């Protein structure tokens, strides 16, 4: 299950996480974001060593702007508290898994 990321828990859940965190910058009104949601839930429920979080850009605009979420959906994989990989727009599950593997050095 995906974790709701907010300005209150961003530092703890993303920046200080001991495991990689895939953050989905999304909005409820965004069609491609809605198409991506079940794929991210599937990844979240799998055991691939990555935590999945969802950050609503309408509710968390300062964080969205800080990480360049000018278009959505935007996926950013954070590793050791820093952005390690990004993907913009709707992508298939295989592409997301490649993004995760690439950032993990596999």
DSSP code, position 104: T
Catalytic residue status for 93: no
Say if CB 32 and CB 82 are below 8 A apart: no
* Residue among 5, 14, 21, 33 flagged as catalytic: 33
Catalytic residue status for 94: no
H/E stretch holding 52 reads strand 51-56
b/e burial code for range 31-54 (CB count within 10 A of at least 16 → b): eebeebbebbeebbeeeeebbbbb
DSSP code, position 102: H
* Residue among 5, 14, 21, 30 flagged as catalytic: 30
Active site residues: 30, 33
């Amino acid at each position: 299950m995906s974790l709701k990321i907010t300005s209150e828990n961003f530092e703890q859940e993303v920046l200080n996480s001991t495991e990689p965190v895939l953050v989905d910058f999304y909005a409820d009104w965004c069609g491609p974001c809605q198409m991506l949601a079940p794929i991210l839930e599937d990844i979240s429920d799998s055991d691939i060593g990555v935590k999945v979080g969802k950050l609503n850009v309408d509710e968390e605009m300062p964080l969205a702007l800080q990480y360049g979420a000018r278009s959505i959906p935007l996926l950013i994989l954070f590793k050791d508290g820093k952005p390690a990989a990004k993907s913009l727009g709707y992508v298939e599950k295989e592409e997301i898994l490649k993004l995760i593997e690439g950032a993990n050095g596999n």
